[in-house]
Amino acid sequence: MLLFGGDYNPEQWDEPTWAEDVALMHEARVNTATVGVFSWSWIEPSEGRYRFDWLDATLERLHRAGVSVILATPTASPPPWFSLAHPDALPVRADGTRLVHGSRDTYCAAAPSYRQAAVRVATKLAERYAGHPALAMWHVHNEYGTRCWCDHAAAAFRSWLQQRYGAAQPGLDELNQAWGTAFWGQRYGDWEEVLPPRATQWLANPSQTLDFQRFWSSELLSAYVDQRDAIRARTPGIPVTTNFMLPDDPVLDLWEWGRAVDVVAIDHYPSSRDSGAYDQIALAGDLARSLNQGRPWLVMEQAASTTVEDHGTVHRPPGRTLLDALAYIAHGSDSALFFQWRASRAGAEMFHSAMVPHAGADTRIFREMTNIGHALEEMSEVSGSTLDADVAIVFDFASWWALEARRVLPAQMRYLDSVRADHRAVTLAGHLCDFVPPDGDLSRYKLVIVSSTYVLSGDAAQKMHQYVQDGGCMIVSYLSGVVGSSGAVGLGGYPAVLRSLLGVRVEEFHPLSPGQIVPLFGGGSGSLWSERLTATDADIVDRYATGDLAGNPAITRRSAGKGCAWYISTRLCDERNELLVRDALAAAGVRPVVAKLGPAVHSLLRRDGAGGSWQFWLNYGATSVRLPAGGYDLLRRRLVPPGVELGPGEAAVVRQDAAR
């Protein structure tokens, strides 16, 4: 079954609306509702006093209506009484400002009182609903990602550092060494002197900041694990997860988190309305699938339509929501779940789109939702099937954190821009792309792209060497491998740990000014970044044509063992990057699953399962295309011959083997 439904918040509504909700859910073929995400003050109206009557009734009602429940723990929104009783658990910013309640996420996850209260309420819920027939899954907390700089955070940070470096004096010496505290006389003589990177006079220490980011990912993970384990003990067999958000400012190392959840679930809101939305969906989907080790994953929350919020309006044209929902499924999702079922009448997100808008059920949006519900019902055989990729891009949260640590490198250096460009190049060439951590198993891929992976350990680099020796093809781009795990530079020329693999030695950085373009002899150009490098043991593929680096190598290629490795020392324009990726795909002997029908028609995806294989065709373009292959189309519910027309905004999900 493909899960279809969304966040359901009956505490915002009255009885007649609850009755209408179940009738409309039935009409739209909703089979799943996420309940209780922010309901702490309803479940525990005062400390230690619990009220489950409304939640009991909700679960009963949904169960009778055939709707399964993903039950949330409400710990992302502590009640106001909690803040008054435990003011030390309110979060503090880097500048020392203590925040107050009145929104959500007003807690420090390192504060003992918060952690205890969170596990307590999660435990109560698990005890109450263990064995309930509606309970299908647990949704712990909501979008973990809140950091804090308070004294509790400082103490927890020190413990985490002591675990990493060793608690005794040699550990502190090691920390001093790793953070390079000899610079600006920052040497720590006692553990108590070590603080979070709070607001300070001038630039913060980037290695301290990097460790603080790692610490928070791990501290939040332990907060999740506290709840998960309490729940698992009481409801064994019910999967437990939390919803990951792919934000601009990442807080979690999702590789670690992916291993801690029973199924990876993401919230995703593309910021673009054109076919750029597909690029964002494809990247998020490929990452979610990879985080879930290739197994089907879940979209826990997406928007039902146009969303008006303080940080901007994201338009969705009519029909787009179905196409987007199918795109996630094409990339391996087994759900289309939305935030939220019914648009709130009040509150900070009252103009966020919902499955049932303020205008009610007699609306385009609800009709589209009903359409999606029916489509997913027709497609249920797809659930559980998987996808195979020959290409992978290295994705690294530490590199993201460290590259964007304020003022270390130019502010235009955005890690995700580099990953996005490479992912788009692979996708446009008609290939499915996985993501892998830098020290992950590369052996199953024919081509691996190391996209500006700034932080690289010696071990990870060694695995990359081996991968190429054994016949893999690899593209490495600018700024990769410049620093090691601690954030300190590898000496002797960048990228120290990859120099021998790539056969290059980078002597000097030449950052380019915003808007500055450097043409290459072989066509296309670079921007943002360039490097003075020597090809010590590599062929020069292309050179800079003008500027300070005129005549110097820009792109190199080295054959090593049975494989080969390219190095790109600038941010290539899209056309040139796409060309290079296509060359590398050809060298690696990777063929697309199906021929592309133009840049806006996405058809690379084929989910395979025991029951067959399904080709997804998604037309994000403005013109009609003809499908090259035929089969049973689950959306049209009939056999379609090759050559059938797919209009703009239309989709087909074609079962490829035996007709039904």
**Could you tell me the smallest distance in angstroms from the CB atom of residue 68 to ligand GLA?**
19
- 211 in contact with ligand GLA (CB under 6 A): no
All residues at 6 or more sequence positions from 586 whose CB lies less than 8 Å from its CB, including other chains: none
- 142 in contact with ligand GLA (CB under 6 A): yes
Which is the catalytic residue, given 143, 404, 531, 578?
143
**Could you tell me the smallest distance in angstroms from the CB atom of residue 34 to ligand GLA?**
9
Q: Contacting ligand GLA (CB under 6 A), which of 21, 44, 143, 542?
A: 143
- 349 in contact with ligand GLA (CB under 6 A): yes
**Could you tell me the smallest distance in angstroms from the CB atom of residue 392 to ligand GLA?**
28
Residue 615, SS3? strand
State yes or no: is 143 an active-site residue: yes
- 11 in contact with ligand GLA (CB under 6 A): no
Q: What angle do CA 208, 213, 217 make, to 5 degrees?
A: 145
Q: Please work out the total of residues on this chain that contact ligand GLA, with binding judged by CB under 6 A.
A: 8
33 φ, ψ to 5°?
A: -135, 135
- 404 in contact with ligand GLA (CB under 6 A): no
Element (H, E) at 428: helix 415-428
Which is the catalytic residue, given 44, 219, 301, 381?
301
217 or 243, CB closer to ligand GLA?
243
Element (H, E) at 572: strand 571-572
**Could you tell me the smallest distance in angstroms from the CB atom of residue 214 to ligand GLA?**
24
**Could you tell me the smallest distance in angstroms from the CB atom of residue 36 to ligand GLA?**
12
Element (H, E) at 54: helix 53-64
- Residue whose C-beta lies closest to ligand GLA: 301
All residues at 6 or more sequence positions from 637 whose CB lies less than 8 Å from its CB, including other chains: 378
**Could you tell me the smallest distance in angstroms from the CB atom of residue 517 to ligand GLA?**
36
- 339 in contact with ligand GLA (CB under 6 A): yes
Query: Residues 110-136, buried b or exposed e (16+ Cβ, 10 A)?
Result: bbebbbebbbbbbbbbbebbeebebbb
**Residue 524: DSSP 8-state:** S
Q: Contacting ligand GLA (CB under 6 A), which of 219, 286, 301, 396?
A: 301
240 or 560, CB closer to ligand GLA?
240
Nearest CA among 7, 155, 2 for reference residue 72: 7
145 or 526, CB closer to ligand GLA?
145
How far apart are the C-alpha atoms of 10 and 213, rounded to whole Å?
36
State yes or no: is 44 an active-site residue: no
Q: Contacting ligand GLA (CB under 6 A), which of 141, 320, 342, 352?
A: 352
Outline where 150-272 has alpha helix (H): 151-165, 169-179, 206-234, 254-260
DSSP β-ladder status, 68-72 and 32-35: parallel
32 φ, ψ to 5°?
A: -145, 135
Query: x/- contact string, 254-293, with ligand GLA (CB under 6 A)?
Result: -------------x-x------------------------
**Positions 617 through 636 that interact with ligand GLA (CB under 6 A):** none
Cα distances from 512 to residues 70, 517, 530, 533, 571, in angstroms, run 49, 8, 7, 16, 10
Residues at the contact surface with ligand GLA, assessed by CB under 6 A: 142-143, 267, 269, 301, 339, 349, 352
- Give the catalytic positions in this structure: 143, 301
